[in-house]
Structure 1
Amino acid sequence: MRAVVLAGGLGTRLRPYTTIIPKPLVPVGERPILQHIIDRLRAVGVTRIDLCVNYLGGLIAAYFSQARLEPGLELHWHWEERPLGTAGALRAVPDLDQTFIAMNGDVLTGLDYRELVDFHVETGAALTIATHKNPVDIDLGVLETTDGYVSSYREKPTLHYDVSMGVYIYEPRALKHLPDGECQFPELVQRLLTAGEKVAAYSSDAPWYDIGTPQEYERAVQDVALLTEQ
């Protein structure tokens, strides 16, 4: 199995941590985020990982040139001369001609990647998105109305939404829908749906940390034991 890790973002939401180091190298416990990701991918049988890098990518490459990697794992580096987006970056990776995992370089999760791949294959989808139930607290009263009349009223409810975990399974045919130039992941999803392709959703309640903000980073640091036990 092959995986692509998107590690080229600026990490602006995680400042000041990312002022001098790229987000994938921010430590969680004794290892950087990207080391956790690579180790978990290797543990489920991934033998090749393609890393798309840009901002401070030289530091990432330097770290992994010295890091101890599991036997049988190949790392390949792909440099974005200009930002291509969370989907467009895949254009920089050659020979994506089989089913592959793609994920953001700031996601820590106990997700079972093998189950995710098996689910994807069973659906026959061009793309599968791993999802997580995320609560959103509304600090106001929420009304539902019909023809100008109130049909229900809920005071400060908590709503739950299926959100993307930043982990995906691609079929090569999905890449044919990428436009030239920059393309963000939501745009690719819309293009696939418009073209009549199946996009599947795999729901998981595994531990998940989208380390894009200081609050989420601190939560991951506090729960690092859960990450290492998965």
Structure 2
Amino acid sequence: MKTIILAGGFGKRLRPVTDYVPKPLVPIKNIPIIEWQIRYLKKFGVDEVIVCTGYKTKMIENYLNAKNLDMKVNFSVEDSPLGTGGAIKKAARLIKDESFFVINGDIITNIDLRKLAAKQNSIASIELRTNFGVLETNQDKVTKFKEKKEITDLWMNAGIYHLQKKILKDLPKKGDIEETLFSEYAEKGKIHIIKFKDVKWFSIDSFKDMEESSLEIEKIIK
């Protein structure tokens, strides 16, 4: 199975670090996010990645080309931002398989890709978590304080997809997949959800995310 890594963003929320290095090269425990992702993908038999780049492309190419990661790496370079849908449409032309995975370039997780591959055109999802402490109350008194509680049976997009290549004709040349193809397919009942409970999942969008993921990353991706 091949995987597209969406790694073309500017990573503005991690400035000033991303003024100097692209987000995929931001280190977690002294190893860049994209290398952690490749280690994760290898565990599930992925033998090739297509890295979608745009911002500081050469830095990403130089790093991956210099590493011996035992993974075939190709690049799909965006001269201007195409959005997630446009990036996938362009990169997937390099894939001959009937289906492929897509992962956002800032995700650290232990989600089981084999379960995701069992359904065509599927989205990995996890239970929504709050970013803040949750108060349980009785009238005007706090009875319990819970940090970052998961909200039962409300599911969020985990940023990992299993897609059939035949969907490429429906993807935009420019635009986000969430607002175009997924929205259209959802209305027609053509997109599946694979729910994952009790998994580790981090989207590296802040320095706090970097800190929290660094405490568990070696357990998540061995």
**Which structure: larger Rg?**
1
Aligned mates of 2:105, 2:16 — CA distance in 1: 18
1:226 counterpart letter in structure 2: K
- The match for 2:52 is 52
Q: Which has the larger displacement, 84-93 or 132-141?
A: 132-141
- Matches of 1:115 and 1:135 in 2, distance apart? 22
Q: 1:172 Cα deviation (Å)?
A: 1.5
Map residues 136-215 of structure 1 onto 2, 5 A cutoff.
136=130, 159-160=151-152, 161-194=154-187, 196-204=188-196, 205-215=198-208
Note if contact 2:25-2:33 (Cα within 8 Å) is conserved in structure 1.
yes
State the shift of 1:41 in Å.
Answer: 1.0
AA in 2 matched with 1:12: K
Structure-2 change in CA distance of 1:30 and 1:227 (3 Å): farther
Instruction: Show the counterpart of 2:39.
Output: 39
How many residues get paired?
208
- For 2:168 and 2:174, the matched residues in 1 are separated by 13
Cα distance between partner residues in 1 of 2:29 and 2:134:
34
Q: TM-score, normalised by structure 1?
A: 0.82
In the TM superposition, residue 57 of structure 1 has moved relative to its aligned partner by 1.2
In structure 2, what is the Cα distance between the partners aligned to 1:110 and 1:180? Answer: 31
- Structure 1 segments, 4+ long, off by >3 Å, are 137-141, 156-160
Residues 81 and 197 (structure 1), Cα distance of their counterparts in 2 relative to 1, 3 Å cut: farther
Shift of the 91–110 alpha-carbon distance from structure 1 to 2, 3 Å rule, reads: same
3-state SS of paired residue (1:165): strand
Deviation at 1:114, TM superposition (A): 1.6
Q: Distance in 1 between matches of 2:22 and 2:40?
A: 20
Measure how far apart 1:224 and its partner are.
2.4
Structure 1 unpaired stretches of 5+: 142-155
Once superposed, what is the RMSD of the aligned Cα atoms?
2.4
Q: Percent of aligned positions with the same letter in both sequences?
A: 28
Provide the C-alpha distance between the structure 1 equivalents of 2:133 and 2:27, rounded to a whole number of angstroms.
33
Question: TM-score, structure 2 length as denominator?
Answer: 0.84
* Counterpart Cα distance in 1 of 2:173 and 2:209: 34
